[in-house]
Amino acid sequence: MKELIEQLTEVYGPSGREEQIREVIRAEVESLADEIRVDALGNLIALKKGTGQGKKVMLAAHMDEIGLIISHVDEKGFLRAQRIGGVDPITLTGGRVQFADGTIGVIAPEKRPEFRKDPDLSKLYIDVGATSRAEAADRLGQAVGFVRPFTDLGNRVVAKAMDDRIGCVVLIETMRRLGNSPHDLYFVFTVQEEVGLRGAQTGAYGVDPDVGIAVDVTVAADTPEAYKMAMKLGHGPCIKVKDGRMLSHPGLKDLLIETAEANEIPYQLEVLAWGSTDAAAIQLSRGGVPAGCVSIACRYIHTPSEMVDIDDVENAVKLLLAVLEGPIEI
């Protein structure tokens, strides 16, 4: 599983530019699916047909990652950028970014003392080694992702874009291990989650599921002076109760809890004070969809060094398998 995590997290794919990561994921799941397609917005939808005696279930994990988009090129070839998703400028100085064509740039502040006092994105620039505007003019409007190598710390692993390539890993591993299921299972690898759950919104409309389950990361509140929340690394997948935009369907939440307990799978309850996942968009599709979320606790979310626990990932796969191979009565 670590090899797959490394493979997925190191691929370029900021919101709106998911082509490269989509092709990597497609290569992993195409042989596992009965049908596979890409919708108009760019979601990758892989269907595994059931026995015809169950429900239509949508499982969603987003392929996109946070990043920046170039908004200005000055006369010396230095670039200015705007956010794609929830980027915190204080995490960026001295870091590197990558364009779709592989070009690397370095992020630096204009004046470090002033930036420390007011860490605003407008005070940062990107240096791609250009010496004039003409050398870098074509970079205007291009998106960049962050560059940081995958690191194996034993039971914990660190990489950029764990949010939400780790959810994509969970879905791929679930597809690989899945036995017989009564349900038609739509594994949807969504686009543009970081800029407003856009892929999940159109994907859910197209699939029209009976039930929706998102797989994403959530804040690990187990670091020094962390926010007062219950989620921790290594304590099992988190079953969402609430986040900033949704309340999980109580029947689906209870099914996840009962299934975890029946199969002796460790789990945590997630009550998140802010943020949300694709489940919030699925929930509001068409006439409404019972939806919930299985989350992986993650430290340092929305930085280039996000950390998860391998046991949590493995147990998330086990939980989904146990739910999907049985009846879903909610």
Cα–Cα distance between 83 and 290 in angstroms, integer? 32
In sequence order, the β-bridge partners of residue 213 are 59, 292
Cα–Cα distance between 260 and 58 in angstroms, integer? 20
Q: Which of 197, 176, 194 is nearest to 185 (CA)?
A: 176
Using DSSP bridges, classify how beta strands 184-190 and 56-62 pair: parallel, antiparallel or unpaired.
parallel
Q: Which of 250, 45, 233, 267 is nearest to 153 (CA)?
A: 233
Cα–Cα distance between 308 and 8 in angstroms, integer? 14
The angle subtended at Cα 145 by Cα 234 and Cα 78, nearest 5°, is 140
Note whether 173 and 4 are within 8 A (CB). Answer: yes
> Which residues carry out catalysis?
193
The 3-class SS string of 234-282 reads: CCCCEEEEECCCCECCHHHHHHHHHHHHHCCCCCEEEECCCCCCHHHHH
Rg (CA), the chain: 20
Cα–Cα distance between 169 and 14 in angstroms, integer? 17
The angle subtended at Cα 237 by Cα 270 and Cα 159, nearest 5°, is 105
